[in-house]
Structure 1
């Protein structure tokens, strides 16, 4: 939740060049309806999203105020390296000087991009290798899309200047802006089902947990527990062990850092086994075993195996942590029964069609299989992630 406060200071501000369709308002609406985020107020201020979270690496509590600039709107120069991702304003160094606070622009929603089907068919993103050969690296430098051609996302960082670069990069990952999405719309030209999903959820990319660590903690809370009850425990943990961060003049609650939950004491109503599993996830994060970049670089099978080594993390949880915590954009969730049901419904398939055949069908979504899977889940009005009872 957010609470306004009076004190304001000038903060480091950076920009992320967007490749491919993206609508910040779609992301905020998703976040507001996504119970595990604990942010039903996320869409309360049009055109602005405020986040607070433990930062990658040092786990200090930081915040970000996020706005979107449409293509061509005058703003601070953005310096990039030719691939999607963050850059701070006012310097040719990727994370050099910072700019003063600027007022919020009036941002409207974006529509779908206008790709030529012929050019999409020739795109290097039209097909991709098998999971065993493909890492979770964003398909960036292979694209001919111009950085910022779909606008930019402005991020006002509530953190010390020396941490601003890491925070900006983390926000990019959380909003899936570190992935070149310029080829995603073109997949719909060959798949009418996906085209319909893209039209109904225009500009929506996966909105991630702040880290694989936070995704793992939610998976432990959700296992075998009613959704509303899991939400209450998550809120209690954040209030007792997290921190309130001043984010652009508002107080926003940040999830506890791993070093705190690694020593989590007994919590009334929380079973001992669940407390032990939360400690195990926190310990893995503190030891560096949940580094998002490393998980994305690994083969999918190896990354899932590493995640399953953590007590309480089964196949379903591991897949969701990889997709919605680390931000791997291209693998098929083999244990997601809700997704499989949605695919059978949308594609008019028999109930007897199993995960192996559905995975073959999903091959047409490469290299955005995780993105397409999210659209299916959201469009079917299912809880987007981790409500199922998950095996330990």
Structure 2
């Protein structure tokens, strides 16, 4: 098995430990997909360049990230995919400036310094999760996902599109049909992370909506948390609208408030979700201790 290592400076605030704690809330992963309680983060996934299984290890040394990927496929592309799903490819030197313009964002930055949105390993995995959660509670969706990993996955990784085509039992709410549709789209390149990221967010959402079973809500999840677009807004998240009303008061809309978040609107929206989780007692990460 080949191995490839890349080291690079991460532009702007970043904490691997904080981001790791946040990951499960933003992009629920399989039981073996995000290991490491400190130090290195280890995860397994199928690279969307060739759908080969990849093992990845990420370590932080100050502002430097070290990514080690191992597998039999295109490891250069796999390393770039790691950068993308951990938001390490985003220049966040302007992110503290958003806090200067918005005291709510200042609060979340102070509580969780260095937090970067961590997404699904790929738009394909995000699309599969979107299907599994349709008309289904999170606990049941996780159970179905874990069963798919056990039956069709490789070494703890979510099944590759080719493997998932072997799904031959019926899941509720047409999920088997829609999962097959997602796999065909992935194999056809419609869910390629680099390609979707290169499109404008609106065009990327329209492209993903071509996949049977993926409406606007699901397509936005794929683009924001699968492709990792850093500067767009979800239009179908009721909980985000509720948190905006709670934090900013009635009469102010998300679009208006988000003007102060550019060019990190996706980041700010996801950070508000973390604040909501803390307020409702469901936060995946703990506030940083005072120095």
Q: Same fold (TM over 0.5)?
A: yes
| Residue 188 of structure 1 pairs with residue 188 of structure 2 | no
Contact 1:28–1:49 under 8 Å retained in 2: yes
- Correspondence for 1:144: none
* Unaligned residue ranges in structure 1 (runs of 5+): 1-8, 71-150, 245-252, 385-392
* Structure 1 residue corresponding to 2:135, chosen from 220, 224, 235: 224
Deviations 1:100-144 (A, max 9, x none): xxxxxxxxxxxxxxxxxxxxxxxxxxxxxxxxxxxxxxxxxxxxx
- Correspondence for 2:169: 266
Greater per-residue helix proportion: 2
C-alpha separation in 1, matches of 2:8 and 2:53: 21
- Any idea what SS the aligned residue of 2:74 has? helix
1:170-181 superposed matches below 5 A: 170-181=81-92
1:116-127 superposed matches below 5 A: none
- Any idea what SS the aligned residue of 1:166 has? helix
1:1-392 superposed matches below 5 A: 11-33=3-25, 36-39=28-31, 42=34, 44-70=36-62, 151-160=63-72, 163-244=74-155, 253-267=156-170, 270-271=171-172, 273-350=174-251, 357-381=253-277
TM-score w.r.t. the length of structure 2 is 0.90
Distance 1:184 1:64, change over 3 A: same
Contact 1:197–1:375 under 8 Å retained in 2: yes
Measure how far apart 1:328 and its partner are. Answer: 0.5
- Correspondence for 1:98: none
Measure how far apart 1:340 and its partner are. Answer: 0.9
- The structure whose Rg is larger is 1
Distance 1:201 1:40, change over 3 A: farther
Measure how far apart 1:42 and its partner are. Answer: 4.0
Deviations 1:48-79 (A, max 9, x none): 11010001211000111111011xxxxxxxxx
Distance 1:202 1:183, change over 3 A: same
Deviations 1:355-374 (A, max 9, x none): xx311211110110000011
Contact 1:42–1:50 under 8 Å retained in 2: yes
Measure how far apart 1:186 and its partner are. Answer: 1.0
- Any idea what SS the aligned residue of 1:58 has? coil
Deviations 1:14-59 (A, max 9, x none): 2132000000001111135557213488464311110100012110
Distance 1:211 1:278, change over 3 A: same
Contact 1:32–1:40 under 8 Å retained in 2: no
Contact 2:46–2:157 under 8 Å retained in 1: yes
Contact 1:216–1:281 under 8 Å retained in 2: yes
Distance 1:35 1:289, change over 3 A: closer
C-alpha separation in 1, matches of 2:34 and 2:191: 27
- Any idea what SS the aligned residue of 1:187 has? helix
C-alpha separation in 2, matches of 1:285 and 1:39: 23
Measure how far apart 1:163 and its partner are. Answer: 2.5
Alpha-carbon RMSD across the aligned residues, in angstroms, is 2.1
C-alpha separation in 2, matches of 1:203 and 1:235: 30
C-alpha separation in 2, matches of 1:196 and 1:45: 26
